[in-house]
Chain A
Amino acid sequence: DGGITQSPKYLFRKEGQNVTLSCEQNLNHDAMYWYRQDPGQGLRLIYYSQIVNDFQKGDIAEGYSVSREKKESFPLTVTSAQKNPTAFYLCASRGDSVNTEAFFGQGTRLTVV
């Protein structure tokens, strides 16, 4: 089945450790996005990539890093510089046409203790 997969669903890390969240899609989409969601809030854009080997900062990029070495994959690293990393992280992808919808993964809930 075509879709977008995030793993793991739940992740626990100690404070000060970097952690990498996986996002893979087999929809042949060029554009991919990472969003963060805090309790009771809407989603906020962390990073986005419109093509392989290129990515741009979103609204809340500080403390995060990404890579886009393959079209299918857009991993997000939450670094120790991120002050409040505990959150629900969502990955999305979208096709090229101007009015196509974005598809979301099921999310990774990161808890830093």
Chain B
Amino acid sequence: DAKTTQPPSMDCAEGRAANLPCNHSTISGNEYVYWYRQIHSQGPQYIIHGLKNNETNEMASLIITEDRKSSTLILPHATLRDTAVYYCIVRVYNQGGKLIFGQGTELSVKP
């Protein structure tokens, strides 16, 4: 079972920041949170990951709450090409470090 819950869909205006929330209240102390996105009929694309500190890269920022029970992915200036399904994932240490995917959030960026 997925260890994360996300809203099924969100809209965002082009050029505005997209803030995608994720709850992972049962996360263990050494489990990382990963974010991937998937455009229809393509393989998931890695975005960012973190353990307990906030992280930023060229694609996005990841804000993790102090208790680690939730996080937010921020796309600072969303474009139409950011329209995709975004998955918040906890990577577990059994089964070879597999990624447990939930349903994800379908983000629609509108002009």
- Chain A residues with CB under 8 Å of chain B are 6, 31, 33, 35, 40-45, 48-50, 56, 58-59, 88, 90, 92, 94, 98-99, 101-107, 109
Main secondary structure of the interface of B (DSSP, over half): loop
Docked-complex contact B51 and A56, CB < 8 angstroms? no
What chain B residues lie within 8 Å of A107 (beta carbons)?
41-43
Pick 7 A–B contacts, CB within 8 A, sort by A.
A6-B43, A41-B103, A42-B103, A49-B96, A90-B43, A90-B44, A107-B43
Tell me the B residues contacting A by CB distance below 8 Å. Answer: 2, 32, 34, 36, 41-46, 49, 51, 87, 95-99, 101-104
Given contacts A33-B98, A58-B98, A90-B44, 8 further A-B contacts (CB under 8 A): A42-B2, A43-B99, A48-B95, A48-B98, A92-B99, A104-B45, A107-B41, A109-B41
A43 to B36, CA, bound (A): 12
CA distance A101 to B55 in the complex (A): 14
Among candidates B41, B44, B97, B101, residue contacting A31 with C-beta atoms closer than 8 Å? B97
Report the Cα distance A31→B91, complex, angstroms: 14
